[in-house]
Structure 1
């Protein structure tokens, strides 16, 4: 279901050098959403690409929370089979603080983040940092996992208070709470599995097995001492994510326009968001009104869709 504001497979195509060709166009459902509005012949930025970037264009730069060798080592230690094929990372940034200070004078026409935001300790700071290095009118496209259809199915929905806490404290690594919740609540559920079978959470084992509670506690203690644990710091549904953005916009903590929103469709486990850095300087009050109007439009569209589905189910 396309929810475009008026006027406006797991990962991507993977090192597709055709993205460097003027004749290349996205073809898959994911490619379309993750490149929506992007000037692919311009300079782009992909965040957290690991070994499977959305675009393989030489004009797309890569940023991650650590350098290439560190990420490869951490992936190898976790048993990941494709650690050696991680992309060469151009910029190291923890996802909080100034990204402009890291990239210098370089500016980007677009940014892409596929299944990254849930790993980011401080999303509000992360959005601000990316916004610093986008040109006016530049787009930021995200694919976001829907907790209802992943191993995060039992995780509590993230709250606005947690979002504010992470920003006020400028988290640069997953906090003890984030590490604990990610390990403790994770369930042994395959992506998209709830579409095809009933999931009895009371009888579904933890993702980390029977040791999950103790492991979660041990990792949380080590996180306090500064150890980094790659975690799902946040758990969203399409509606809960829009509600969080509404709260952030109301507080003046979010500086993007919302152009497109695509909730999870049948058989899938992710939703898509397309943001735009305002093309001109906008008064804060005017920006907030535009944002809240856009969010209300998307929320109404989801409510109408849900109403139709309920009618069809009767």
Structure 2
């Protein structure tokens, strides 16, 4: 299991314990939930035999599961009568030509309280980075018109704004805007990998998801949103729950300029690190203050000891002066012969002679 799948599972399991029946759309070789752990069904436009036949990486074939539901349009409800407790769609929603209808159909296929887990690319980290964000009015217009196929507008947009650097090719505006090239491309059916719509982490909540819920198109609540980061695959996570919508969206949020979610996340991370550094600095300051108090105590102890040393030196000097005075006195000179005799006698005693009287 790779890092991206592990991260997806971590977010999914916050909102469902995988009990009941689950549906995963387009798992290919990286299912989020496995049949060995839950009652999960897989949906795709192709069966496993066709997926294996078209797979260009032989080492991936072993991970391609059997497909339970093979569909031929984005109206899955026309092929499936089962109801699901959770639905997983990784990198699928951006391909749906009519996003609101696609979400409404999934909602109809779910039981009350069911969880819809979506992972989709942030355009900043994909070949769509030069494309303008798809506007709310565009989604509403497609829904009202009942769009089912990818409009030419999206094909033209991709031809003009596709980041050629993604496939290691140079970008030349004259080539990108060459109408003869664009007309030739439009003669063929849309590429299966085309993204009908593009999103940014910093705008999708306040400019797309919450407004659509507020307009009453869907019986979903937005219960979790994780912005995209480059180091985690450049995908955002959206979790919706089937229940009566309770949307909080201010006028300022909806009409304000977009915020770069990655920069915002990094700003929060920087602020957290700054707070940690300030806490560490305060701890260091307290340690310094404690050390300074200990130094002052030690200095006072040393000063007291120095005073004692001075007092002892003064006492020694006084006694030395007394001794010198005694040795210079007349009595000391008169008794000198007597002290010499005593010293000699003591010397004889030390050699073993009996000098007792």
Flag whether TM exceeds 0.5 (same fold). yes
1:143 counterpart SS class: strand
* Structure 1 residues 231 and 297: CA distance shift in structure 2, 3 A: same
Aligned to 1:42: 20
Q: Which residue of 2 aligns with 1:306?
A: 264
Check if 1:237 corresponds to 2:200. Answer: yes
Aligned residues: 259
Residues 1:160 and 2:136 aligned together: yes
User: Could you tell me how far apart the structure 1 residues matched to 2:186 and 2:269 are?
Assistant: 45
| Preserved CA contact (<8 Å) 1:152 1:235 | yes
**1:291 equivalent in alignment to 2:247:** yes
| Partners of 1:262 and 1:272 within 8 A in 2 | yes
Q: 1:49 to 1:311 in 2, by over 3 A?
A: closer
Q: Give the secondary-structure state (helix, strand or coil) at the position aligned to 1:155.
A: coil
1:68, 1:173 → 2: CA distance? 25
Are 1:276 and 2:241 an aligned pair?
yes
Q: Secondary structure at the match of 1:103?
A: coil
**Match of residue 33 from structure 1:** 11
Deviation at 1:136, TM superposition (A): 0.8
Indicate which of 77, 85, 97 corresponds to 1:100.
77
**1:95 and 1:235 mapped to 2: Cα distance?**
21
Instruction: After TM superposition, give the deviation of residue 102 of structure 1 in Å.
Output: 1.8
Summarize the Cα distance change of 1:188–1:303 in structure 2 as closer, same or farther, 3 Å threshold: closer
Return the alpha-carbon distance in structure 1 between the equivalents of residues 29 and 100 of structure 2. 26
Q: Is the 8 A contact 1:120 1:233 kept in 2?
A: yes
The question of whether the paired residues in 2 share the 8 Å contact of 1:186 and 1:206 is answered with no
Give the direction of change, closer, same or farther, for the CA distance of 1:62–1:184 in structure 2 (3 Å limit): farther
Q: Is 1:128 matched with 2:104?
A: yes
Unmatched segments (≥5 aa) in structure 2: 272-357
* 1:221 and 2:184 matched: no
The normalised TM-score by structure 2 is 0.60
Report the CA distance shift for 1:220/1:170 in structure 2 as closer, same or farther (over 3 A): farther
TM-score when normalising by structure 1: 0.67
Structure 1: distance between partners of 2:42 and 2:252: 33
Question: Hey, what does 1:249 align to over in structure 2?
Answer: 213
Aligned ranges for residues 44-63 of structure 1 at < 5 Å? Answer: 44-57=22-35, 59-63=39-43
- After superposition, the Cα gap between the structure-2 partners of 1:231 and 1:309, relative to the gap in structure 1 and judged at 3 Å, is same
Q: Give how far 1:108 is off.
A: 1.2
Closer, same or farther in 2 for the Cα pair 1:109/1:69, shift >3 Å? same
Gaps of 5+ in 1: 1-8, 13-27, 192-202
Contact 2:118–2:237, Cα closer than 8 Å, also in 1: yes
Distance (whole Å) between structure 2 residues aligned to residue 72 and residue 150 of structure 1: 26
Cα deviations across residues 181-225 of structure 1 (Å, max 9, x unaligned)? 23432214559xxxxxxxxxxx97359xx68966654343334xx
- For residue 64 of structure 1, the aligned residue among 17, 32, 44 is 44
Which fold has the larger relative contact order, with Cα–Cα distance below 8 Å and residues 6 or more apart in sequence? 1
Aligned partners of 2:132 and 2:198 also within 8 Å: yes
Q: Which residue of 2 aligns with 1:200?
A: none
RMSD between aligned residues? 4.0
Aligned: 1:169 with 2:145: yes
Say whether the 8 Å CA contact 2:213–2:220 is kept in structure 1.
no
* Paired residues of 2:121 and 2:199 also in contact (CA < 8 A): yes
Q: What CA distance in whole angstroms lies between the structure 2 residues aligned with 1:307 and 1:270?
A: 14
Tell me which protein shows more helix as a share of its residues: 2
Seen in structure 2, the aligned counterparts of structure 1 residues 152 and 110 have a Cα distance that, compared at 3 Å, is: same
